[in-house]
Structure 1
Amino acid sequence: MSKRTWKELEQGVENGCSPWACRRSEARRCRTTSLPVTEAMQRSLAALFAARCRPQRWESVEASTNMWEILRVFTHWLAALPEPPTDVDAIHAVWNAWKLGRTTRVGGYHQVTRMGALLIDDPQVVGEVAEAMGKRIPKPRAQETSYTNAEYDQIKTPARRVFRSASIRIEHNARHLEQWRAGVFTEGGRDWLIGEVLDGLARTGHVPCRPRGRGELQAVARYARALGGGSKQHTWQRLYLTRLEATSLGVLLMAEFGLNLSVIHTLPVPRASAGSGPDGHPTYRLELVKRKRGSGHHHETRNVTDLGSGSPGRLITQALTATRFAREGVEALSPGTNCLIIWRTGTPSRGAGVGAWFRLGIGENSASDWGQLAGVAVGSPFRAAGGR
């Protein structure tokens, strides 16, 4: 992470706001509301957070983002108390209540231990409460069980349906774009206009637009008519995966290769082995980073071959095809990103991605929302796959 980025992050935190919600502007104004605690508490927490937002403390965006979410949970919990503490030096009166109400589950365990590790750096935290925050807490066992075969089918079926539909849509428009670039269509006709839009969409990430007011954009009328409308379904979704579709691809990778969410989230683009493919069966090299393993065992490689429909390698071919326009767009904006799962958002912002429109990987929120969006009552689909 660049020094400039770290500096901007600290500035955002000092304003009591999410570290990734600050606009890149001279004033660096924050786009989120302040934490629901007193001004004194905000300043103390901001100082603690900013002190850790350095390469020597937090080496990744993910680490600081996860801590920010815990901080938000903690401050909302404080705000709901009958008499919330006004600053960090008064947290000792409620710390045990926070601890006892959180440590029965793995998620609560992380909230308590990480919040304690953050607060203990404050010089106001001394004595017994500092000892309590620094005391080791036994980690509870995860309460989730492996999927049954029926649950596995319940997950894979909608994931396959959603991703297949997206793949067909993107491939159909990709063929139309190829024909336009080859000069197949008569200039000025509907098919020609669609091809012109697709060419711009592939190069820039969006269709030709004009200002609509309040900072919103609207597709140029003649292009919207050719496309059949100006909605996201008619415009940028022609070449890019949505959040739901990208998560569905992640679910299929989990089911096919037994990968967990953290591995899928950062999965590099698989490369076809040198010399593979003359017989029509390309072999891909998967480079997996498994951070939960011990030192020296974080990296693993697998070779998978596309032997046709239903083979593990065919899923990799489909993933590469469905994400190729997004990967090309991200490569132009940030060379060397090398992430397989990239999707486009309809709400431009500065987030965990590249530019205003593209997002990388699959976050915890996407995983949690997937079941509801896909119409499956499973919560997050990325659980142990022992019931396969």
Structure 2
Amino acid sequence: MTGRGRRAVLPPADHRTEPPLAPDGLVVTVVNKAGYEMPFDFAELPVAELMQRSLARVFAARSAGWNSHMTAQASWITVKAFARFVSELEHPPEDLGDLTTAMLKRWRAAHIGTNSGKSVLRQVRPLLRADPRLADGPVGEELARRIPKQVPVKQSYGEDERGRVLLAAQRQFRTARLRIRENTRLLERWRAGDVTEGSREGRLGEILDHLARTGYVPHTVSPSGAVNVRERRLLGGTGSECTWGRLFLSRSELTALAVLLTARFGWNLSVYDRLPAPTTAPSAGGTATVTYQIQVEKRRQGGGWWFSTENATDSGADSAGRLITQALEATAHGRALAARLEPGTDFLMVARMHYPGKRHQHTERPRPVGPLSFGIGNGDAQQWGIRHGLGGAPFQRTRRTAVTREGRPLQHAQGTHESIYMLPDEHVQRASRSVFEAGAKEALAQAQAVMFAGAIADTPDPGHGQTVAADCADETSSPWPDAQGGCGADFMLCLACPNARVHPGHHPRLAHLHRELTSLRSVLPDRSWHERWSEHVLRLEDLRDKVGSVAWNAALARVNDEDRTLVHLLLKGELAP
């Protein structure tokens, strides 16, 4: 089955796949998922012919798993960089088998220091290792050396930057959507016969109907090829907003919509090339809400994981589904025209091209249908960012901002979410400081809670009451009072009370108690011991540190039978306060 749920059609019985490597051994042709071919001529490389052919062979073998021209072009760029490096050596090798360890060390040293260089090393290494002559020996070991991970440099937007990007996108898309809505209402009135024939609105309605059916306003073409718009005075001009823009988004306006979708859902730029129009699903509750099912294609996830379905509910102005509703409204005429011109076409991201007859340059996106194009290209993103004074394409940083604000993976793995998006991001780091501070304070409070909270005295005070573990300076101000106003704490908690006073007479019994508690650890389950005794041991060890290990160990020699009996009763829980 295909990703859209239709049964796949088998190719004809005589179908044969052409090998990527041409018979001359120098040209490799890569066919992408859209069916476009892209040739790569290795004769252009500034290296010996033998090396050209060897590089072509490994490139062709590697291309068997590619379905994207962007992947092929990225690899081709690194191959050309490697060829230039080889050609500039003092004694350039004739073939891949002539590469030495010293040459590869120089190649690595020239690129290992930058992110782009590491990317080049990662692209070239599998190509070289695919040649049997470079798989083993010192050269193979050099190629097998670990390449450090790239250090992420892209950062999410701060609140001010994010607000500026979203404001620019919202203004442009809202203007386009309201323009299309107004003209759509007039077109619907004209089709329903609610407009006076021959009136200005009637004539505009007729033009809009022609535009919706063809993608063009009525026009003539002169012998020189110039397009002359009819009724230009009625339309208010010949610009796109006055002509075809009345019912269709421009590519810049479609890019603004993509920016808003990325900010809301965290989608990659490549998702928009083949994003199907969302379908509606039953909504729980009343009929005032509508839930959309959106099919997202992510080919980098690998076979079997290309498609996922996301739900978005339109329940009000601030809901995620409201933007989907607006996107469907703004692209309705474009989607209807595309389906009429080429049945079965149902992409959400559709725009009217400014120059419909221009050759299609974007081989990764679906082919244009009539005057309509689909998806968003890197060039569109760059131009949109420059037009709005953002200095470049906003999609990577907008996606990063959406992911970090959401705090969970969006179309990527948990490891990628943590190592690439969250940990290196400066805004996440700054926002985490208060969390780390709170955690440190909590840890300190827990540590202080299991410390000896009383005071150490040199001699007993006759005015203090005696307990099994220490003397009590004030029983009436206990942190654990009983119903009668006295102390209701277990005797083991005495060392956690600020009223506790410990003098040398207590040392033998407490040192013996510490030794007995420690010995229990070897016979009790870890969980049981930690739940019952660990805090008391920590307080005793804190007290031991305050008293001094020498005095503490010496006190063990003074343990008597009374101390042993009381400790035994304490451990059995038979002593009540």
Q: Taking structure 2 as the reference length, what is the TM-score of the superposition? A: 0.51
Distance across 1 between alignment mates of 2:317 and 2:130? 56
Letter paired with 1:64? H
User: Residues 287 and 187 from structure 1, CA distance in 2 versus in 1: closer, same or farther, beyond 3 angstroms?
Assistant: same
Structure 2 residue 154 is matched with structure 1 residue 141: no
Distance across 2 between alignment mates of 1:330 and 1:209? 21
Q: What is the 5 A alignment of 1:325-364?
A: 325-347=333-355, 348-350=358-360, 351=362, 352-355=365-368, 357-364=371-378
Distance across 1 between alignment mates of 2:193 and 2:158? 53
Which residue number corresponds to residue 329 of structure 2? 321
Q: What is the 5 A alignment of 1:204-219?
A: 204-212=214-222, 217-219=225-227
SS in 2 for 1:349: coil
Q: What is the 5 A alignment of 1:28-47?
A: none
Greater mean alpha carbon deviation, residues 326-335 or residues 78-87: 78-87
Q: 1:158 aligns with which of 160, 168, 172?
A: 168
Distance across 2 between alignment mates of 1:141 and 1:291? 24
User: Residues 38 and 78 from structure 1, CA distance in 2 versus in 1: closer, same or farther, beyond 3 angstroms?
Assistant: closer
Structure 2 residue 250 is matched with structure 1 residue 242: yes
- The aligned length equals 374
Aligned-pair CA distance for 1:197:
3.5
Which residue number corresponds to residue 199 of structure 1? 209
- Equivalent pair of 2:353/2:373 in contact (CA under 8 Å): yes
Distance across 1 between alignment mates of 2:298 and 2:38? 37
Q: 1:114 aligns with which of 118, 123, 137?
A: 123
Greater mean alpha carbon deviation, residues 187-196 or residues 289-298: 289-298
- Equivalent pair of 1:113/1:133 in contact (CA under 8 Å): no
Where structure 1 has 5 or more consecutive residues not aligned to the other structure, the ranges are none
Aligned-pair CA distance for 1:107:
5.1
Which residue number corresponds to residue 67 of structure 1? 72
- Equivalent pair of 1:344/1:358 in contact (CA under 8 Å): yes
Aligned-pair CA distance for 1:226:
3.2
Aligned-pair CA distance for 1:317:
0.3
- Equivalent pair of 1:70/1:115 in contact (CA under 8 Å): yes
User: Residues 271 and 387 from structure 1, CA distance in 2 versus in 1: closer, same or farther, beyond 3 angstroms?
Assistant: closer
- Equivalent pair of 2:212/2:337 in contact (CA under 8 Å): yes
Which residue number corresponds to residue 174 of structure 1? 184
SS in 2 for 1:157: helix
User: Residues 297 and 191 from structure 1, CA distance in 2 versus in 1: closer, same or farther, beyond 3 angstroms?
Assistant: same
Q: What is the 5 A alignment of 1:239-278?
A: 239-274=247-282
- Equivalent pair of 2:214/2:337 in contact (CA under 8 Å): yes
| Cα deviation 1:306-359 (Å, max 9, x = unaligned) | 122222111110011111222223333444444322223223322323326433
- Equivalent pair of 1:103/1:140 in contact (CA under 8 Å): no
Q: 1:281 aligns with which of 283, 289, 310?
A: 289
Distance across 1 between alignment mates of 2:156 and 2:270? 18
Which residue number corresponds to residue 395 of structure 2? 381
Q: 1:231 aligns with which of 236, 239, 243?
A: 239
Distance across 2 between alignment mates of 1:194 and 1:98? 66
- Equivalent pair of 2:249/2:352 in contact (CA under 8 Å): yes
| Cα deviation 1:73-109 (Å, max 9, x = unaligned) | 7648967999598998699698766655555555554
Alignment RMSD, CA only?
4.8
Greater mean alpha carbon deviation, residues 45-54 or residues 165-174: 45-54
Distance across 1 between alignment mates of 2:53 and 2:147? 28
- Equivalent pair of 1:207/1:219 in contact (CA under 8 Å): no
Where structure 2 has 5 or more consecutive residues not aligned to the other structure, the ranges are 1-7, 407-577
Q: What is the 5 A alignment of 1:92-131?
A: 100=109, 102-104=111-113, 108-118=117-127
User: Residues 346 and 378 from structure 1, CA distance in 2 versus in 1: closer, same or farther, beyond 3 angstroms?
Assistant: closer
- Equivalent pair of 2:289/2:314 in contact (CA under 8 Å): yes
User: Residues 101 and 208 from structure 1, CA distance in 2 versus in 1: closer, same or farther, beyond 3 angstroms?
Assistant: farther
- Equivalent pair of 1:155/1:381 in contact (CA under 8 Å): no
SS in 2 for 1:250: helix
User: Residues 208 and 151 from structure 1, CA distance in 2 versus in 1: closer, same or farther, beyond 3 angstroms?
Assistant: same
Q: Report 1 or 2 for greater relative contact order, CA contacts < 8 Å, sequence distance ≥ 6.
A: 1
Distance across 2 between alignment mates of 1:196 and 1:180? 7
Distance across 2 between alignment mates of 1:206 and 1:17? 37
Aligned-pair CA distance for 1:164:
1.0
Q: Which has the larger radius of gyration?
A: 2
User: Residues 223 and 302 from structure 1, CA distance in 2 versus in 1: closer, same or farther, beyond 3 angstroms?
Assistant: same
Which residue number corresponds to residue 372 of structure 1? 386
SS in 2 for 1:343: strand
Aligned-pair CA distance for 1:46:
7.3
